[in-house]
Every structure is written in C-alpha cells, then in structure tokens.
Amino acid sequence: MNLGTRGIEEALDVLQYANAPQGIAYSDQRAENGHAEPYGIRMWCLGNEMDGPWQAGHKTAEEYARIATEAARLMRQEDPDLELIACGSSSSQMETFAAWENTVLTESYDLVDMISAHAYYSEKDGDQASFLASADDMDHFIDSVVATADHVRAKLKRDKRIMISFDEWNIWYQHRAESRPPSGDDWPVAPVLLEDTYSAMDAVVFGNLLISLLRHSDRVASASLAQLVNVIAPIMTAPGGEAWKQTTFHPFALTSRHAAGQVLDVRVTAPTFKNTRFGKSSAADAVATWDEESGALTLFVVNRGPEGEQALDADLAGFGDLELVEAVTLHHEDPYAANTQDAPETVVPAPNDSVALDGGRLVGALPAISWSMIRLARRA
C-alpha cells in the first residue's frame, strides 16, 4: 500500500479493487478490466521504507505509526483475516533503527502480523573477508528486530508474537555504474539498470544469507529475494537473445527445492578468520532441514574462510540408518569468476566426491569460499 503520497482511503480502494466481490465501484472496475473474480490477495505491506528520506512522502516514526495503524484498522474491518506487514527500517544502518520499530509496533501491535526488514550486501573497497562474513550482519539484524518486537510485546503485555517479513534482500553493488540511474538529458528507452554480474564469491555469500534466513525461520515468516530477472537478479536475459543463470541462481534454486520440513539448530565448530567489520567470524556456517515424513535430511554449509580447505565432520547418528543421496559444491579457483552470456556454465555446482557416510558420521572436504548442499535419506 502507498502510505507515502497516498493514504488510508486509497488503501481501502486498492483492497476493494483486489478482493471485493462485484457490486461496488472498484470491484466493478476490476471486472470491467477483465477479472470478474476477486484476486484474493491475503498479504499486504503498509508502505515501503517510510523511514528513508529518499522516499516520496517520507515520515517520522510517529507519523507513519499513526497512518499505518488506522489503515490496518480499516483494512481489518474489510477482512479480519488479512496478513498485514508494518514498515520496518530500510536497513540496520539507519540512525533510527530499532527506535523506529519500537515506535511503530507500540502503536500498531494489535493490528499487524509482521514488520519488514531489508538488507543488501556487497564487497566494499576490496574487503573480501568482511563481505564473506555478511551473514553475521543478517543474523544480528534479525536478532535485533526480534528483541525490539519482543520488548514491545512485554511492554504491552500481549501473547501474540510479531514475525518478520524480510521482503528485500540480495547482493547489490550500489556503487557500480550499472546501478546509477539515467540523469540530465540521458533518458534512453528501456535502459539497462542494476544488471549486476555475480561472482562465485557472491554466490557463496548469497547461499550463506539463505542459511541465516532458514536458521531464523521461527521468526522470519516471509522472505523475498529482490529481484528475479535482470535487475540484481539470479536470471539474466539479452534482448532478442538467450537467458542464462547467474552464480546466485544455484544456491537459491537448490535451497528452494530441497529445504523442507523442520529447520534444525546446527552447532558448528570451526576456525575463525579476521575481518574489519566483525573482528572474527567462523570460517564455516551451516543449517539443516529434516522432513520426518519423507525421511529427507538436507545440510547446507559454507566454507566462507578466504583461505584453506575445511574438513566436514557431522554427527548424524541420531537420525538412524541414512544413505547419501547427493553432495554438490559451488566453488571456483577464482572467487571472482562469473557466468556470462558467452560463458554461462563457468560457475556451477559440481559433485563433491569427498563427501561420504562413515558409520553415523558425515565426512568430507569443503574448499575455501564454497557453498555446498548435501542430501541424505532414511534408508528404506
């Protein structure tokens, strides 16, 4: 919903256009436009990055909290079962971060289900080590939003827990020329914008961010990659030409396809590496999912250490008799290698033949700056 240059009345108009049965002005207009049946949209965001001074209709936390609360109140009168997302901070680097969430949720707590979070990461000034540890920042960001939301819950003496909608996240090199919009008299038709080319290292960090999101799935109820095609995207296309998969496509597709069931709390012991952003970070990070019904166990693991292979040794005895289904690793000797239109298969997951089951232990080797997926299944 646009709560910047528009307001409560317009929010209700949009809701009625999308979801109301025919018989009122906006639902009849929808039918005239070719869609007689309601769309039935359940999830609605109440504004976007309203704390950002770059936004048209930028508001203070108090101003936004008031309009979001009243919009939510009237939307729930239309349909009490909607999922409503309050606008959180544009990033954890905003000066008002956490104070914004506190003010907004104090006002709107009883009327919203989630609060949004946005984060983009990139290698800055050649600081490879800090970039490889980006998931540490995402972990801290999520934990901080959860702590703030739970503080408001305690303050208001409520039973309900507010969840997080991480509805913008990605790798984005905002300092690159590709990310700068046209200016002055330079206004071409359909210009190339934000078409970042992603490296093997970008894909490893990307896969690690997915690990962080899965690890926090008890409080992250929704997460959306921004964007999907061409614009900071896992899929690229050329006008009149081919489509190809960026490096980041692979951890996204494989995690989406194989992460199922319960998310398990994986405890990782690994060497650390130094970086200027966080001081020290673990060279390895992992998460696992277990589907009790199908007996599928999937481990997602990164060796994000900039130097040195890491030995994999996981105790799986508690899962009973397992068999190894698949082990793949995304890695390239050149961490800056990328997939292009002319060479779309430069960086792809490949079988990791070092991975094996040894009794109740999973063992193997993970090369430096790599992302791996290991699938196991309960033996029939």
Query: Is residue 17 within 8 Å of residue 39, measured between CB atoms?
Result: no
pLDDT reading at 127 higher than 70:
yes
Give the per-residue pLDDT at 241: 85
Token pair, residue 9, equals: 């009345």
pLDDT reading at 38 higher than 80:
yes
Residues 230 and 273 in one domain: no
Q: What is the CATH number of the domain that holds 307?
A: 2.60.40.1180
Active-site position among 9, 49, 107, 309: 49
Q: What's 21's DSSP letter?
A: P
Residues 326 and 207 in one domain: no
pLDDT (tens digit, 9 = 90+) per residue, 54-78?
999 999 999 999 999 999 999 999 9
- The confidence band for 91, taking pLDDT boundaries of 50, 70 and 90, is very high
pLDDT reading at 272 higher than 70:
yes
Domain assignment present for residue 84? The answer is yes
Residue that terminates a domain, selected from 237, 258, 279: 258
Distance CA(120)–CA(169), nearest Å, equals: 5
Domain assignment present for residue 283? The answer is yes
Domain assignment present for residue 2? The answer is no
Sign of CA dihedral 57, 63, 66, 68: positive
Residue that terminates a domain, selected from 198, 232, 258: 258
Q: What is the CATH number of the domain that holds 59?
A: 3.20.20.80
Domain assignment present for residue 3? The answer is no
The whole-number average pLDDT for the span 350-365 is 97
Residues 283 and 365 in one domain: yes
pLDDT (tens digit, 9 = 90+) per residue, 211-263?
999 999 999 999 999 999 999 999 999 988 899 999 999 999 999 999 999 99
Residues 329 and 203 in one domain: no
- The confidence band for 178, taking pLDDT boundaries of 50, 70 and 90, is low
For the chain, what is the domain count?
A: 2
The whole-number average pLDDT for the span 303-314 is 96
pLDDT (tens digit, 9 = 90+) per residue, 332-355?
999 999 999 999 999 999 999 999
Angle at 217 between CA 216 and CA 219, to 5 degrees: 75
Residues 54 and 196 in one domain: yes
Query: Is residue 142 within 8 Å of residue 220, measured between CB atoms?
Result: yes
Residues 113 and 198 in one domain: yes
Active site (annotated) includes residue 168: yes
Q: What's 308's DSSP letter?
A: S
pLDDT reading at 187 higher than 80:
no
Residue that terminates a domain, selected from 196, 231, 258: 258
Query: Is residue 283 within 8 Å of residue 268, measured between CB atoms?
Result: no
pLDDT (tens digit, 9 = 90+) per residue, 21-33?
999 999 999 999 9
Domain assignment present for residue 335? The answer is yes
Domain assignment present for residue 1? The answer is no
- Please state, rounded to an integer, the average pLDDT across all residues of the chain: 96
Residues 281 and 314 in one domain: yes
- The confidence band for 110, taking pLDDT boundaries of 50, 70 and 90, is very high
The whole-number average pLDDT for the span 154-178 is 94
Residues 37 and 171 in one domain: yes
The whole-number average pLDDT for the span 269-282 is 96
Domain assignment present for residue 274? The answer is yes
Residues 201 and 236 in one domain: yes
The whole-number average pLDDT for the span 302-319 is 95
The parent domain of residue 350 ranges over 262-378
Domain assignment present for residue 77? The answer is yes
Residues 280 and 313 in one domain: yes
Residues 251 and 270 in one domain: no
- The confidence band for 189, taking pLDDT boundaries of 50, 70 and 90, is confident
Active site (annotated) includes residue 195: no
Looking at the DSSP bridge assignments, the partners of residue 84 are: 44
Angle at 44 between CA 257 and CA 67, to 5 degrees: 150
Active-site position among 70, 78, 168, 292: 168
Residues 280 and 343 in one domain: yes
Determine which of 53-57, 79-83, 302-306 has the lowest per-residue pLDDT on average. Answer: 53-57
